[in-house]
């Protein structure tokens, strides 16, 4: 009992504990006043990552896109230096329901109608504009995300033409550099036959570099027309993934800075 009394007295003498804002760029990890102060201090760029919940072959978890785009957005925001990252959108267009089409043919995939997806994007952007962000960046990690992002960006930029807020979207983040990426993978011994366009060696390497716990290494198998894989992931590696991600991050940071600078000239 005496020991606890001494401990309580020591805590009182130590004075109040002053909480420090966390070292994070993620908006959802801040309190409202920390977010306000960050914007006032110059963090006026906000990235809205869009991922998806979809099948990625037997060897990769359904949240591949969400994990990957969140990790990349973190790196991009920190390199920009004046950016925060909004919560990742995990529900995006993935195919039809009746009959099941696209990734919806595989258990666990979740889809949104494209108009609903666009409206969520739109109102996320409107909310962030209200709070003082000047540059809103759509960062889409999946192909089906791109048309909606482009359309919403165009609509809002037209509406906000007289304001100092702009929306930016970057198809190149998703598309990458097909020729350069293939050359990089070839340097790592990967053949053209192994490179597909879904859950393949490139796709799997990218996830190994960002969230390796989401990859089932004992279930790697080439595409057979039924398993959701297009290509062959069996020689994927985190080294390949890190090299590809670095290229993507460098290019995207440059494109964001250029797009912001160009929009301020108009």
Residues 157, 167 contacting (CB under 8 angstroms): yes
What are the structural domain ranges in the chain? 21-263
Query: For the structural domain made of 21-263, what CATH number should be given?
Result: 3.40.50.10310
- Of 154, 47, 51, 151, give the one whose Cα is nearest residue 94: 51
All residues at 6 or more sequence positions from 95 whose CB lies less than 8 Å from its CB, including other chains: 101, 102, 103, 104, 105, 109, 111
Query: Which tens digit of pLDDT belongs to each residue from 9-24?
Result: 554 555 555 567 789 9
For residue 84, list its beta bridge partners: 46
Q: CA 230, CA 210: separation in Å to the nearest integer?
A: 21
Return mean pLDDT, the chain. 93
How far apart, in Å, are the Cα atoms of 265 and each of 45, 134, 224?
17, 14, 51
Q: What pLDDT digit, counting tens, does each position of 200-229 carry?
A: 999 999 999 999 999 999 999 999 999 999
Q: Measured on CA atoms in the order 29, 31, 32, 34, is the torsion positive or negative?
A: negative
Note whether 86 and 24 are within 8 A (CB).
Answer: no
What is the dihedral sign for C-alpha 221, 223, 225, 228? positive
The CA-based angle 175-64-178, given to 5 degrees, is: 20
pLDDT tens by residue, 142-200: 999 999 999 999 999 999 999 999 999 999 999 888 999 999 999 999 999 899 999 99
């Amino acid at each position: 009992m005496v020991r606890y009394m001494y401990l309580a007295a020591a805590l009182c003498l130590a004075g109040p504990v002053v909480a420090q804002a966390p070292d994070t760029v993620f908006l959802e990890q801040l309190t409202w006043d920390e977010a306000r102060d960050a914007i006032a201090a110059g963090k006026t760029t906000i990235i809205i990552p869009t991922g998806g919940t979809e099948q990625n072959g037997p060897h990769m978890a359904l949240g591949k896109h969400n994990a990957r785009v969140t990790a990349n957005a973190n790196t991009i925001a920190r390199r920009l230096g004046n950016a925060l990252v909004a919560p990742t959108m995990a529900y995006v267009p993935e195919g039809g329901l009746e009959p099941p089409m696209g990734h919806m043919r595989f258990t666990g995939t979740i889809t949104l109608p494209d108009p609903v997806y666009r409206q969520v994007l739109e109102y996320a952007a409107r909310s962030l504009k209200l709070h003082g962000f000047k540059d809103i960046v759509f960062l889409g990690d999946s192909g089906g995300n791109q048309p909606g992002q482009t359309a919403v960006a165009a609509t809002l930029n037209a509406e906000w033409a007289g304001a100092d807020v702009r929306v930016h979207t970057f198809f190149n983040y998703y598309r990458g550099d097909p020729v350069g990426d293939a050359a990089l993978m070839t340097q790592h011994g990967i053949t053209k036959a192994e490179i597909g366009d879904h859950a393949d060696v490139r796709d799997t390497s990218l996830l190994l570099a960002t969230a390796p716990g989401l990859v089932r290494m004992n279930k790697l198998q080439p595409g057979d027309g039924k398993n959701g894989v297009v290509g062959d992931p069996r020689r994927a590696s985190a080294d390949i993934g890190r090299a590809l991600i670095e290229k993507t991050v460098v290019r995207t940071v440059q494109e964001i800075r250029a797009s912001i600078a160009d929009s301020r000239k108009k």
